[in-house]
Amino acid sequence: MSEEVIKRVNRALSHIWRFVTEVKDDIGKISLRDLIDEGGINPYMVAALSITNVEDVAKLFIYKRVERSLTTKFGNAIEAFLRDLLGGVKGEKHYGCTTKKLKWICWWDIVIDKEFEEGGKKYRGIVIAVRSGPADIDKDVAEKFVDHIKEAEKNGYRPYIVFTYGKKVFGVADTTLRNYGLDPKRYLLIGREFYKQFLNDENVYEYIINAITETFKDVQINLINLIEDKVKRIAEDLKRRYGSDVSKLLKEVT
């Protein structure tokens, strides 16, 4: 692996650090009001699952809340990480979107302006859509990908849909592209294939995982402790307000 790639990875780790910091802050801000007054818990779900103690209500609420925050914020973080790693810009910040008002380019997560030729065709650059894993893709989403792929190529850009982890693309994405006359192998990259395609080294994946693990191992332990502490605090608040009467809690949340 080249020194330049190592420098890029280490520089881009700042986005992962920001993610960890933001999640810690979000956990600290969670309050009983979020659960009671802002629809933080689904009373139908609690009743259906026969949850009868406030500790389990607090645990369900906190873990659901944190999972949503983790998913959203890490998606943003990994997108920014890959964008810096490749030296690209976000579509909505690209001059084609901000100045020329080209709506098609605004949609893409990463835009790299670089003229090149592939298969006898000249391209003005590369556009990339970043998705977490292939399981997130249904038929409607896959069909939208098809529209964006065709529009990018019409405007002279080479499009890719990148799944940051996984070993294979689920059938729906593969089948949908084929149904529209597109070769999935040309447009879909998953896991290590991404690093091999753009950095010419699939071992970059191991380096990134090791770098994240080593850099944030202490923070990750603290994050779990924060979650457990918050569960205890919310459970204590619920007990002070409702005692052990979960049914009273469920009647008040709506």
Instruction: List strands edge to edge, sheet with 110-118.
Output: 110-118, 121-131, 157-163, 188-190
- The angle formed by the CA atoms of residues 207, 136 and 147, to the nearest 5 degrees, is 105
| DSSP secondary structure of 187-234 | HEEETHHHHHHHHS-TTHHHHHHHHHHHHHHHHHHHHHHHHHHHHHHH
Q: Which pLDDT score, from 0 to 100, does residue 245 have?
A: 86
Which structural domains are found in the chain, ordered by start? 3-86+216-252 (1.10.3250), 91-206 (3.40.1560)
Q: pLDDT at position 177, please?
A: 92
Are 131 and 122 within 8 A, CB to CB?
A: no
Residue 220 confidence (pLDDT): 62
pLDDT at 230: 93
Given this model, what pLDDT does residue 136 score? 65
Which secondary-structure segment (H or E) carries 125? Answer: strand 121-131
- DSSP class of residue 89 equals B
Checking phi first, is residue 183 left (phi over 0); if not, alpha (psi -120 to 50) or beta?
Answer: beta
Phi and psi torsions of 82, nearest 5° = -70, -35
191: left (phi over 0), alpha (psi -120 to 50) or beta: left
Note down pLDDT in tens along the chain; length 254 residues.
Answer: 788 888 889 889 899 888 888 888 899 999 988 888 776 788 899 999 999 888 999 999 999 888 888 888 888 999 999 999 999 999 999 999 999 999 999 999 999 999 999 999 999 999 999 987 766 677 888 899 999 999 999 999 999 999 988 887 767 888 999 999 999 999 999 988 999 999 988 889 999 999 888 877 776 667 788 899 999 999 999 999 888 888 888 888 77
On whether the CB atoms of residues 40 and 61 are closer than 8 A, the answer is yes
Ramachandran assignment for 115, one of left (phi > 0), alpha (psi -120 to 50 degrees), beta (any other): beta
pLDDT of residue 135: 65
CA triple 228-229-231, angle to 5 deg: 65
Nearest to 83 by CA among 152, 129, 145: 129
